[in-house]
Amino acid sequence: MKNKIKSIVALLFVATVSLNAAAQDAKPAPASPAATATGKVGGATLTINYSSPAVKGRTIWGGLQKYDAVWRAGANKTTTFETDKDITVQGQKLPAGKYNFFLIPKESGTWTAIFNKEVANTNPFNYKEAQDQLRVDVKTKALKETQERLVYKVDNKGFALEWDKIAVPVSVK
């Protein structure tokens, strides 16, 4: 009988230690999960890698994201934009390659989209304007419904960022 009790206690101890060890491996889901948008525009393949924050009841434009300030156009680290062929963005040429993508939101008027050559820099707070390959003006559009999570969409006309009540379409040919 004593051996049976000792065996049960030992088994319970091993099970408890195993469960605790397994629980240590489980990581909580990130608040702004990584995401990728990809698609073809003309003959070029576009790929956008970003982190997707949520609105969560916050004021995004002019609140969480200040107007007239360079923004990483996502969360956690810089958003990257890649094209495998030379393209035209808002009527201006952008060579094939990989770029960090930034936006400068404005309270009114057009926003600025920035394609920056310094892709080794994943820290958006180390942005260097001298490394900009291309800056273009883009007009925002109001969304009918709130887009809770930031998302990029690629279609045959270009790509767009959608978040909160705003879409930022960028024309690509």
3-state secondary structure the chain: CHHHHHHHHHHHHHHHHHHHHHHHHCCCCCCCCEEEEEEEECCEEEEEEEECCECCCCCCECCCECCCCCECCCCCCCEEEEECCCEEECCEEECCEEEEEEEECCCCCCEEEEEECCCCCCCHHHCCHHHEEEEEEECCEEEEEEEEEEEEEEECCEEEEEEEEEEEEEEEC
The pTM of the full predicted model, rounded to 2 decimals, is 0.84
pLDDT at 125: 83
pLDDT at 123: 83
- pLDDT tens profile 72-99: 999 999 999 999 999 999 999 999 999 9
With a cut of 90, say whether residue 61 has pLDDT above it: yes
With a cut of 60, say whether residue 64 has pLDDT above it: yes
With a cut of 90, say whether residue 21 has pLDDT above it: no
- pLDDT tens profile 28-43: 888 899 999 999 999 9
Written as one letter, the residue type at 93 is K
Start-to-end CA distance of the chain, whole Å, equals 81
Q: How many CA atoms does the CB half-sphere of 71 hold within 13 Å?
A: 23
Contact 106, 94 (CB under 8 A): no
With a cut of 90, say whether residue 25 has pLDDT above it: no
Give mean pLDDT, residues 128-144.
98
Give mean pLDDT, residues 12-36.
68
Across the strands, what pairs with 34?
A: 51
Poorest-pLDDT segment among 19-33, 80-94, 111-125:
19-33
CA quadruple 87, 88, 89, 93: dihedral sign: positive
Separation CA 93–CA 173 (nearest Å): 9
Furthest C-alpha separation in the chain = 85
With a cut of 70, say whether residue 156 has pLDDT above it: yes
pLDDT at 11: 53
Separation CA 110–CA 104 (nearest Å): 9
Average pLDDT over all residues of the chain: 90
With a cut of 90, say whether residue 122 has pLDDT above it: no
Separation CA 95–CA 172 (nearest Å): 12
